Amino acid sequence: MRYAMILDRRKCFGCNGCTVACKQANATPPGTFYTRVLLEESGKFPNSKQSFMPMICNHCDKAPCVAVCPTKASKKMPDGTVQITSSECIGCQLCMEACPYGARFFNGDEKPTYWEEKGQNEFEKARSKDHVYGTVDKCTFCKSRRDRGMIPACVETCPAVARVFGDLDDPNSEVSKLYKKYQPKPYKPEKGTHPRVFYIG
C-alpha cells in the first residue's frame, strides 16, 4: 500500500474549503494550518494572472524530518505516510527545520484558545489532548478518519474535485489512474525527498 494525493492546480480556484475542513476535522490550535492554499501571481498588467498552490505535508519516502529526529518520534509507516508519536517527541523542532515544505508546527501553547479573554471553549477543551504541549504536529492524511474508512477531510470537501487521495499500488484507484494518465510532478523535486503528494498543472 502506498497512500498518495494528487492536487490538480488547473481545478483549484482558491476557495480554501480544504483549509477550513482540515481545521475542523483536526481541531488544530490557533495559527496552525495543516493544509493551506497559496496565491501565486504571474505576468504583468494587463496580462497578469493568478493561480493557486495547495500546500500540505508531502509524506516523503525520503523524509528529512524522519532522518533528523533524535528520538525516532517521526516515522515512515508501512502505508507510506509519515507520522509523529507525540509521546516520543521532545519538542526539539529539528524536524521543522529539516522540512523543505514548511509543513510542521510546534504546539507551544499549553491551553490554546481562540478566545483569550474567555479561555478555552468546550470544543477546545475536548480536542486539546490531540495536540500535546511541547511537541510537533502535522498533517496525518487524516489518520483518524482513515481508521474509520473515510478519506481525508480536505479531499472530501473540495468542490472542484482538485484533490484525489488513494493507494498508488491499487491500479483501479482513482489516484493511480490519474498518476498514469498525467504523470504529475512533486513540489521541489530537487530536494530529493520523493514526496507522496503530486501536482497536475
Q: Could you tell me which of 82, 94, 19, 88 has the C-alpha nearest to residue 53?
A: 19
**Residue 103, pLDDT above cutoff 90:** yes
pLDDT digits 0-9 by tens, 27-64: 999 999 999 999 999 999 899 999 999 999 999 999 99
**Residue reference for cell 481525508:** 152
pLDDT at 116: 84
pLDDT at 17: 98
Task: Please tell us whether the domain made up of 3-199 is placed in CATH 3.30.70.20.
Answer: yes
pLDDT of residue 111: 92
Residue-wise pLDDT tens digits, 132-184: 999 999 999 999 999 999 999 999 999 999 999 999 999 999 999 999 999 99
